[in-house]
Amino acid sequence: MKFTKTAALVGAATLMLAACSGGGEDSGGDGGGAATGTGPIEIWLSNNEAEIAWGEAVVEAWNAENPDQEVTAQEIPAGSSSEEAITAAITAGTAPCLVYNIATAAVSGWVQQGGLVDLSTFDDGASYIEERGGDSTAAYQSDGGYYQLPWKSNPVMVMYNKDLFEQAGLDPENPEMSTHADFLDGARQIVDSGVESAIWPSPTNEFYQPWFDFYPLYLAETGGTQLVEDGAATFDNEAGAAVADFWSTIYTEGLAPREAATDDAMVSGTTAMQLAGPWAIASYGDSVDVGFMPVPTTGGSEDVVTFADSKNVSLFTACENQATAWEFLKFSTSADSDGQLLEATGQMPMRTDLAGTYPDYFEANPMYAAFADQTERVADVPSIPNSVEAWQVFRESYSSAVIFGNTTIEEFLSGSAEEITGLVG
């Protein structure tokens, strides 16, 4: 009897709550007038110290000129990843106006959620994005609209420890490891010299890990073919097999460990190479004498394409003052602001003629010049439906075949390609 009574009370309260929550769908969202609304806005920045400093400086400059349209900046709330925090905010209707850390893979899901504003709907939206970023911006469209502004890239290159290279008998200024075969020879030489691992990409299961092992080499091998094109997976071919074989050899011969590092392997000297973007220069500059080279291909191309690892900016439908948000977005991605971003973070703004726009910076920072040059030849993850699920399928199949050798390369390529095509088609 007591149980029945308690259950009845809990049930009644539950139904009441359910009834209350049902009304939530009519509130918030892209309300009338939001697109032309002006006034205070909130923005989120990534948890990168240098980027926060840049963001605060830009906000301060804007606020000084626009006291009636004040911008407030904060870090993306804590979560296991930015994407999860943003997804939760979209669902709850608490997303800010702008987020300066958008990964392309997550965009299709957020468009489906109705969380993002198509920037092409602003009068000068498409033209601004295309003038700033050039032809490459077309790859960032979803459903024919710009739901993200391509903002900055971190082209992935091979970073190496010059001291360990020298110790292994490799020329640290010109290691000549541009082909798969030469790279493997160099890696064997490094391990034979006593270094625990030649290269140490993370062998873990997260959906984004292929972006830092398989994918840059696949883009290089194919001259920039994305994982999925025209609604079908592209990698079940010779190029995909060549890259998978390359990494399989790395693991089979013990040139890279099958477990994650428990510390920073570059700093501790347990690895001689990592795949990294320009952010690594500032991170390792004081502790390791680093050099950079393009990712290898079977034939050793001169001008290889690599993974852009871009982070972009999106405007959210929860924003009440979208006109202010758009103006601030243009202000914060202007040539001046981009120059400040480059100075503060070493990350490459995605605009045409980067090296020509900031010649003084690259003259003073020659190590970054290689990355500026590489930005001319980058590709990103494709804008596809079920993007995260597709990458997760890819990763699991890759891990099984390439990292752990429990299935064959052929099974991995054909099986995951078929499954991914089914997911995105």
Partner 1 sequence: MADVATPPARTPSGSRAGGPDLRRRLRVLLGRHPIGTIFALPYMVFVALIFAYPLVFACYIAFHDYFFTAPGVEVERPFVGLANFIDVLTDPQVLESFRNTAVFLVINVPLTAVAALVLASALNAGIRWAAAFRVAFYVPYLTASVSLVGVWMLLFSSGGLVNSVLGPLAPDPSWLVNSALAMPSIALYVTWKQLGFYILLYLAALQNIPSELHESAATDGASALQRFRHVTIPGVRNATTLVLILAIITGANLFTEPYLLTNGGGPDGASLTPVLLIYQKGIQQQNPDTAAAMGMILVIIVGLLSLTANRLTREK
Q: Does 17 bind partner 1 (CB under 8 A)?
A: yes
The closest of 105, 94, 104, 51 to 75, measured between CA atoms, is 51
Helix (H/G/I), strand (E/B), else coil: 104? helix
Q: Does 196 bind partner 1 (CB under 8 A)?
A: yes
Q: Which of residues 118-147 bind partner 1 (CB under 8 A)?
A: none
Q: Does 9 bind partner 1 (CB under 8 A)?
A: yes
Give 167-170's long-range contacts (Cβ < 8 A, gap of 24+): 167/193, 167/194, 167/195, 168/192, 168/193, 168/195, 168/272, 169/193
The closest of 397, 46, 79 to 207, measured between CA atoms, is 397
Distance separating alpha carbons of residues 69 and 79, to the nearest angstrom: 29
Distance separating alpha carbons of residues 309 and 296, to the nearest angstrom: 18
Radius of gyration over alpha carbons of the chain, in Å?
24
Q: Does 109 bind partner 1 (CB under 8 A)?
A: yes
Q: Does 112 bind partner 1 (CB under 8 A)?
A: yes
Q: Does 74 bind partner 1 (CB under 8 A)?
A: no
Q: Does 91 bind partner 1 (CB under 8 A)?
A: yes
Residue with tokens 């391509």: 150
Give the helix ranges, DSSP H, for 148-229: 162-167, 180-192, 214-222
Cβ distance 380 to 310 under 8 Å?
yes
Q: Does 230 bind partner 1 (CB under 8 A)?
A: no
Q: Does 403 bind partner 1 (CB under 8 A)?
A: yes
Q: Which of residues 291-320 bind partner 1 (CB under 8 A)?
A: 317-318
* Residues in contact with partner 1, shown as a per-residue x/- string from 379 to 398 under the rule CB under 8 A: -------x-xx--x---x--
Query: To the nearest whole angstrom, how small is the minimum distance from the Cβ of residue 197 to partner 1?
Result: 11
Phi, psi of 313 (to 5 degrees): -125, 135
In this chain, which stretch among 65-73, 107-115, 212-220, 352-360 interacts with partner 1, using CB under 8 A? 107-115
Q: Does 93 bind partner 1 (CB under 8 A)?
A: yes
Residue with tokens 């010049």: 369
- Using CB under 8 A as the binding criterion, the count of chain residues that bind partner 1 stands at 56
Q: Does 25 bind partner 1 (CB under 8 A)?
A: yes
Query: To the nearest whole angstrom, how small is the minimum distance from the Cβ of residue 18 to partner 1?
Result: 6
Residue ranges that bind partner 1, judged by CB under 8 A: 2, 5-6, 9-11, 13-14, 17-18, 21, 24-31, 83-84, 87, 90-93, 95, 109, 112-115, 196, 202-207, 257-260, 262, 317-318, 386, 388-389, 392, 396, 399-400, 403-404, 406
